[in-house]
Structure 1
Amino acid sequence: MTNDAFPSAASVRSRRLRPLVAAAFLLVAGPALAAGDDAASRDALLASYAAQAKAQDPAFTGFSAERGRAVYLGQVAGAEADGCAACHTADPRATGQHRKTGRAIKPVAVSVSPWRFTDADYVEKHFRRDCPGVLGRECSAQEKGDYITFLASQ
C-alpha cells in the first residue's frame, strides 16, 4: 500500500522542474513560434493581393522579387521619386532616415524586422500614403505583392 500523503522525492523534483522546462522552451522556441505567426500573417496578406491582382489582370501568374526590387528602387515606369530606397536606403536591411524629418526608420527587410507586412491595415495605410509620392499613383495589387515578396527575401 502506498502513502499518497508523502510524495516521492522524484515527483517533487519533477513538479519543481516543470516550470523551468516550460520557461526554457519558450525562450528557445518562442521567437520561432512568433516568426511562424508573422509568416502566416504575411502569407495571408500576399494571398489577398494575389486574388486582387488576378481580378485586375487574368494573366497574373504570381509575384516576383525582381519586380519588387524595381519598385523598391524606383525603377518603375513613371516613378516620380528615387523609390523607397530614398528613405529606406538601397539596402533594405539597414536603418533608413526620413528625408524631411531626419527620423530613423527601422529596416524594411523581413530578416531584420520580422513583423513587417503582417498587419494588413498598417501595410495598406503605408501603401496609400507612400505609393503616390514614389510612383505618382496608387500601387497595383501586383506591385504591392512584388514589393512584399522582395522584402521578405531580404
Structure 2
Amino acid sequence: MLHKFFALLLFASLHAMAATPAELLAGYTAQAGQPANAAKGESLFKASHGQEWECTSCHGKAPMSGGRHASTDKAIEPLAPAANAKRFTDSAKSEKWFRRNCKDVLARECTAAEKADVLAWLISLR
C-alpha cells in the first residue's frame, strides 16, 4: 500500500512539472506501475473500439503528419513529438486531450497504462 502511495506521489510530482514527452511518459509509467509497451500503444491507436471515431479518424494513420478533425475539419498538427516539438510538453494540455479523445474513442477515460503505451509509441516514431 505504501508503495502505491509513493508511486502516485512521484507521478503527481512528475506530472505537475512535466516539460518533455519523456517526463510525461515517466509519470504515466509510475502511475501504471508497469513499463510502457509501444506495440500496445500502436494497436490502441490504430484499432476500432466500437465507437463512431477511432484515433485515426482525426489524427490520421501516420502521426508524423497532420490530421483533420472528423466533424469540424479543423487542421490538427502532427501528434508525434518528433514531428511537432510542442506535443506532450504541457501536462495539463496532454491530460485534457487524453481525457476528451479517450472518451470519444473508448467511451471512457484511458488508464495510465494506456496513456503510457500510446505515448511510448508516439515517442518512438522518427
Question: What's the counterpart of residue 37 of structure 2?
Answer: 64
Amino acid in structure 1 at the alignment position of 2:36 = F
Structure 1 unaligned blocks of 5 or more: 1-38, 55-59
C-alpha RMSD over aligned residues: 1.7
Amino acid in the other structure paired with 1:63: A
Deviation track 1:11-60 (CA, whole Å, cap 9, x = no partner) reads: xxxxxxxxxxxxxxxxxxxxxxxxxxxx9622221111111101xxxxx2
Out of 14, 24, 28, the residue aligned to residue 49 of structure 1 is: 28
> Is residue 21–residue 81 contact of structure 2 (8 Å, CA) maintained in 1?
no
Structure 2 regions of 5+ residues with no counterpart? 1-17
2:92 is matched with which residue: 115, 118, 121? 121
Alpha-carbon deviation of 1:82?
4.5
Q: Which residue matches 1:96?
A: 67
Counterpart residue identity of residue 41, structure 1: T
| Correspondence list, 1:69-148, <5 A | 69-75=42-48, 78-148=49-119
**TM norm structure 2:** 0.78
Q: For residues 40 and 104 of structure 1, what CA distance do their matches in structure 2 show?
A: 24
Identity of aligned residues (%): 40
Q: How many residues align?
A: 108
Instruction: For 1:45, give the aligned amino acid.
Output: L
Structure-1 separation of matches of 2:113 and 2:28: 7
Choose 1 or 2 for highest CA Rg.
1
